[in-house]
Structure formats: structure tokens, C-alpha cells
Amino acid sequence: MGKRQKVVIISGPTASGKTSLGVDLALALKGEIISADSMQVYRGMDVGTAKPTSEEQKGIPHHLLDVVDPDEEFNAATYNSLAIPKITEIASRGRSCFVVGGTGLYIKGLVAGLFESPPADLELRESLRLECDSSGSRVLHERLADLDPESARKIHPNDKVRIIRALEIIHLTKRRFSDLTREHSFGGRNLNAMKFCLKVDREELYDRIDKRSLAMVENGIVEETENLLSKGYSPDLKPMKAIGYRHMITYLKGDWSLDEAISELQKDTRRYAKRQLTWFRADPEVTWIEPGSFHIFKEKVKGFLIETA
């Protein structure tokens, strides 16, 4: 096996300052950035995804932005298939590679691989979703606890997406989801990754989220959403149901005032940030860093990049 390619991963909750930190590091250490954001891959979705502008990119090459249209399929496997060759390409130019983003599943899959799960059973998934809507996610979580206690302990009772997927895989494979995950062990990826996560005081983070939500409206998320709808993109598409866009769609339908949409956007973004933090705290390989400690952080990253693998 050849020398493993080094990547520096900068993660953290939304609005924690990942983008600017990644750019500053790339400027200081001759690097390029690969986005690890599940929404910034979509064309025409800029304001609502906080996609870095050309000014914010400061001339640093950014990869895996604007790669698919909102009605095209994109998932963790697709991300891997694009990101791995890009890492190789960046290394071949003698540049440092920084992976920056808050989509934990994309980062985990990139570093450790993804096990091959069975194709989705849409009929079964819809049946479980309807049951979840009528009976509540905790009912399904209790069923999961009976079938696979280990997975149930790791999945929050309110996380209906992961509960449904775990039940779906159990039904299709006749095996426990936790056993499949353990057998895969998420190993074998030919990357040497150093993972960091930004640690921001909760009150400060929530204040940043509230201000960013207001800034999105000022910067045109309403008009951006209108434009997407005018192009024929259905409100039922996965990216159109994402935070920000679903709120503006509800406003445009007349079900909420703009103030109500902003308030709900702020509330849901705070909840999303909490889920992100829960994900990253569960990773023992993550080093937590304070946003204000750039020089110390830069030296640590520099040492990792230049040391012999």
C-alpha cells in the first residue's frame, strides 16, 4: 500500500465559522478546499446554503460546489465518488487538501468508507413514514429497540429518518443494522485524516444563527426560492425541503408571514446545529478547537502536513 494521502477536515455546526477558517488555512498553507456540505452541491441554491461567494473564497479553489441540479440525486456515495479523485488530484499538484463542511455522514464516509446497504424500498419506506407521522417516531424507535437494541441506543427517538432507514435495512437483510455496521467497521480508506471541529459557546452560536437567518432574507433567499419554483423545481424535492427553502415556500404560499418564516427558520437551524454537535461529539477522533486560536491551530495543522506519514 502506498503512502496515505493527508487531508485536514474542518467541521462544526452551521454558522460556527468553518468557511472562513478553511480559507485562512488554505491561504497560509497552500491548500485547496473540498466542500463537505450536502446542500452546497446544488446549483442555484446559494443564499439558502450559505455557499461561499467568490469574495469569501479569496481565490482559493473550492471543489464540489454546484455539481448537480436540485432535481438530481446526490448522496454520500455520490459524494465519495467525486471527492476521492479530487483529493488525489489536489495532492498531485503538491497542494494541501482541506475538507470543510458540516455534513457528518459525508465526512465519515470519506474518511472511513461506506458499507453497501441494500437499495431503498420506497414502498416500505413510505409505509414507515406514514406510520411515523400518525403514531410518532418514538413508536418506531421502540420497535427498533426490540429488533436492534444497539442501534436504538445510538439513534435519538426523534430522528425519524435514521430510525426508518434502520428498520428498512433490518427488513430487507433480515439482519441487525448494528451487526452490518460492525462487520464493515468503516475501514480501509486510503486517507490519513486529521479531524477538527469548531467549538463555539452555545449562546454565541445561536446568536450567529439568528443573524445569519436574517442576513439570508436580506441577501435574497425569498427571491432565490421563487426563482427555483419558477424553473419548475417541485417543493417536494429533497433539497427544496431543506432548512431555509421549506420556510420560504411556506411563506410564499401565504401560510406564514415573513416574520413567522424567519422565526421558524432560526428555531429549526438551532435544532439542526444541536444535531450536528451530537454527531461530532460521538467521534473520538475529533479535536475540538476554539475559533480564536488560529495561530496555534495553524501550527498544529502545518506539523501534521509536513510530518512523514
Stronger pLDDT, 251 or 122, i.e. the higher one? 251
pLDDT of residue 241: 96
Judge whether residue 12 has pLDDT over 90: yes
Over the range 227-265, which residues count as b (16 or more CB within 10 Å of their CB) and which as e? ebbeeebeeebebbebbbbbbbbbbbeeebeeeebbebb
Among residues 194, 2, 197, the alpha carbon closest in space to that of 96 is found at 194
Among residues 34, 2, 4, the alpha carbon closest in space to that of 190 is found at 4
Q: How far is CA 126 from CA 45, 121, 183, 194, in A?
A: 27, 9, 28, 39
- Please work out, in degrees rounded to the nearest 5, the angle formed at the alpha carbon of residue 242 by the alpha carbons of 82 and 236: 100
pLDDT of residue 292: 79
pLDDT of residue 203: 96
Q: Which three cell numbers stand for residue 19?
A: 468557511
Map residue 116 onto helix, strand or coil. coil
Per-residue pLDDT tens for 191-236? Answer: 899 999 999 999 999 999 999 999 999 999 999 999 999 999 999 9
pLDDT of residue 296: 86
pLDDT of residue 182: 67
Which residue type does 22 have?
A: G
The full set of domains in the chain, from first to last, is: 5-114+186-306 (3.40.50.300), 122-184 (1.10.20.140)
Strand partners, 31: 96
Residues 6+ away with beta carbon under 8 Å from 3: 309
Model pTM score? 0.80
DSSP run (H or E) holding 265: helix 258-281
Per-residue pLDDT tens for 255-293? Answer: 999 999 999 999 999 999 999 999 999 999 999 998 778
Per-residue pLDDT tens for 97-134? Answer: 999 999 999 999 899 876 666 676 788 888 998 999 99
pLDDT of residue 2: 54
